[in-house]
Structure 1
Amino acid sequence: MVSPYVRRQRLATVLRTLREERGLMADELAKRIHYSRTKISRLENAYGRPDVGDVVKILDVLEIPDEQYLSIVRLASAASAKGWWDRYGDTMGARQRLYVDIESGATTIREYNQSAMPGVLQTPDFIGALINLTKAEGPLDFNPKKMTDARLQRMESLFRPGGPTYEVVVDEVVIRRLTVPPEIMKAQLRHVIKTLDNEPQLTLRVLPLRAQLVGTLLPRATFTLYTFPAAEDPPMAVVDTITADLVYTEPREVERYTRRYDYLSQAALSPDDSKRLLIEAAQEPSD
């Protein structure tokens, strides 16, 4: 499946470029089609699912040639498509919904996680333990059961035949600094080991506590890099902050995170040594 989110990004760029090429301000375009300036802004900034009818009106006003017209309408249709995650709405968590949308159309996924086990690798018990920690910070903005169900379906979707390759660098702090009951953590590690054995698309490296980073600083946040099959869809970096996920498609910004990931991957243990570390951690006494 093509990611609707990624298509919305491309559609936004196309619409904004066509308007600017014709020397129109957003306010003027809005007046010509009797829409609000806000509606034009939302379309040109990829906020929300677009209405294909709105896009058609804009194309008519801009007098787009027939050879472009149909391809843009198809792009708008793809941008407005729904995925399996839409039936959950934001009950699965708005942030998880963003990630699963982007993943759905990716060719490669590379992630650095400095504080938690990657969501797509979590077991139900581990998810439950994290939910209990989240409750201590205040009211939840998602439905725990639906979030858990969606995360399990997300794992199934990610590791589907023909799905993206998934590389992840996990900081050893994630394994050593227990934030969940020890037995749940051990079961989580055993699950990751089993997944590594069963899913050839998955590669995991552990960044050891004593790793020597050369040529870069330790990133301040978890981040994920994506590439997509269509040349028109640029690589993307998504940075996980405490309050929001920041999406970057500007080449210079994406390159910064790509370089960071390359340095981290080089400093991390090999996949085989990382797996051995996970096995040892899963076998250590709980005390």
Structure 2
Amino acid sequence: MPDDVEVRRTLSEPAARQLANATKTRAQWSGITPRWLVSFLPWVPVEAGIYRLNRVKDTEGVSDVECSPSRDRDSDLPETFVDYETAPREYFLNAVTTVLDVQTRVSDLYNQPYDQIQEQLRLLIEKVKERQESELIYNGDYGILTNAAPFMKISTRRGPPTPDDMDELIARVWKEPAFFLSHPRAIAAFGRECTRRGVPPPTINLFGTPFLTWRGIPLVPSDKLKIAESADGGGTSTILLLRTGEKKQGVVGLFQPGVPGEVTPSLSVRFMGINRKAIASYLISLYCSSAILTPDALGVLENVEVGHYHEYT
């Protein structure tokens, strides 16, 4: 090689990266949702995990008895009383639980920059909370859809949800309805139908997030409402309308504060020990239930067509 030829070599990028510190994220899980149902429901604290729902025995609420004679006949008043159910329903808090197992070697050696145990607990708590929202809707004992009164259910006239359908639902839950609950695809189908009819639904901001509304009532999305998929890619779902709160005799969530190992209300994390194989175990428990205080607090719109899946991909 001639002496006057200069050869320049530089450090390659792949080699340089071996000495560089990468900025790392926490583990990202697309299954985490806003869980709006949990946020919109009023939560009632219970004692000993029991909530007794007392109701009036008859729908009228009073039983007339013969009038008592009075000196002034114009002021005769009937003697009345309100009778109660003698065997009211009791709700018991159910537990959504899971167990985290961590090899102590992993938590001892690979704990920077993120604490492995805390990260595993964080993700499992998110999974438990996602399951909680599903249970609030479909649990065989206390799920709100499971306990909907038959006379509060209506069906669409076959097709996507229309303004007429939503108005009919409002007519069922006319006493201060709080919010609709539906799958995002059902909300999209309703929005398209409104736009087609020239009445696009307005938007409001709640919790810093925009929500479509109908008649001033927000349409709250939840992917926990199931879709019955059809062979052609379409499907049907359900839209709920809820009145909420004890004062309004609506739907409420139930929880018990102060459970052992509580990290958030009614959710506990407890260390279960380390076994002979050096596995550390943690029990995660979330206690909850829900109750529909009067049957007319929940309306159900069934057989809502939500469109074909390719419209959302």
Q: TM-score range by the shorter chain?
A: under 0.3
Higher relative contact order (CA 8 A, sep 6+): 2
Normalising by structure 1, we get a TM-score of: 0.23
Higher share in helix? 1
TM-score, L = length of structure 2? 0.21
